[in-house]
Amino acid sequence: MSTRSSAPVASRDDNPFQSEPKRPRRLPWWQLPLHCWYYLTAPPEAPANARLEQREATRRGRLASVVLFFVILLVLPAIPSAVGNPILTVILTLVLLIDFVALAINRSGRTNLAGILVVISIEIGLASSILTVPGGLGPSNLPMLDLMVQAECVAVSLFIPGSVFFVAIINSLFFIAVLNLAPVTPELAHLLKTDASRIISSPIILQVIVATVTYLWVSSANKAIQRADRAEEIAALEQREIERQQHEIEQKQQLDLGILQILQTHVQVANGNFSARAPLSKENVLWQIAYSLNNLLARLQGYNQMQGHLQRLQVENQHLYNALQTASSSQIELQRTREAATYLVELLKQARKGNTPTISLRSGTIIDAVASQLNDSISSPIISEKKPSWQKSRLAEN
Model confidence pLDDT, tens digit, residues 329-352: 878 878 877 777 787 777 777 777
384 alpha-carbon distance from chain centroid: 119
Decide if pLDDT at 212 tops 90.
Answer: yes
Helical ranges in the chain per DSSP H: 32-41, 52-81, 86-107, 111-131, 143-146, 149-158, 163-181, 186-270, 287-352, 367-385, 389-397
R_g of the chain computed on alpha carbons:
61
- Rounded Cα gap, residues 303 and 296, in angstroms: 10
Q: What is the pLDDT of residue 18?
A: 44
Q: What is the pLDDT of residue 230?
A: 85
Query: In the chain, pLDDT over 90 holds for what percent of residues?
Result: 7
Tell me which of 200-209, 242-251, 266-275 is least confident.
Answer: 266-275
Residue that wins the pLDDT comparison between 251 and 376: 251
pLDDT of 4-52, one tens digit each? 333 333 343 444 444 444 455 566 766 788 788 888 888 888 777 777 7
Decide if pLDDT at 223 tops 70.
Answer: yes
- When pLDDT is cut at 50, 70 and 90, the band that residue 225 belongs to is confident
Q: What is the pLDDT of residue 283?
A: 75
Decide if pLDDT at 207 tops 80.
Answer: yes
Measured in degrees and rounded to the nearest 5, phi and psi for residue 82 equal -100, 20
Q: Which residues pair with 32 in a beta bridge?
A: none
Residue that wins the pLDDT comparison between 343 and 68: 68
- Rounded Cα gap, residues 85 and 107, in angstroms: 33
Question: How much is the pTM?
Answer: 0.55
Q: What is the mean pLDDT of the chain?
A: 78
Q: What is the pLDDT of residue 170?
A: 92
Q: Is 108 exposed, middle or buried (0-12, 13-18, 19+ CB in 10 A)?
A: exposed
Q: What is the pLDDT of residue 285?
A: 74
Decide if pLDDT at 384 tops 60.
Answer: no
Q: Which residues pair with 184 in a beta bridge?
A: 137
- Rounded Cα gap, residues 372 and 358, in angstroms: 10
Tell me which of 19-33, 89-103, 215-229, 355-369 is least confident.
Answer: 19-33
Q: Which residues pair with 342 in a beta bridge?
A: none
Decide if pLDDT at 397 tops 60.
Answer: no
> Where are the extended beta strands (E) located within the chain?
none
> What letter would DSSP give residue 272?
T
Q: What is the pLDDT of residue 55?
A: 79
- Rounded Cα gap, residues 130 and 124, in angstroms: 10
Residues 6+ apart with CB under 8 A from 339: 363
Q: Which residues pair with 137 in a beta bridge?
A: 184
3-state secondary structure of 223: helix
Give the HSE-up count for residue 10: Cα atoms under 13 Å, Cβ half-sphere. 11
Measured in degrees and rounded to the nearest 5, phi and psi for residue 277 equal -135, 150
pLDDT of 231-258, one tens digit each? 888 888 899 999 999 988 888 888 888 8
pLDDT of 152-202, one tens digit each? 888 888 888 888 899 999 999 998 888 888 888 888 888 888 888 888 888
pLDDT of 111-142, one tens digit each? 888 888 888 888 888 888 888 888 788 888 88
Q: What is the pLDDT of residue 211?
A: 92
pLDDT of 281-309, one tens digit each? 777 777 788 888 888 888 888 888 888 88
> What letter would DSSP give residue 30?
G
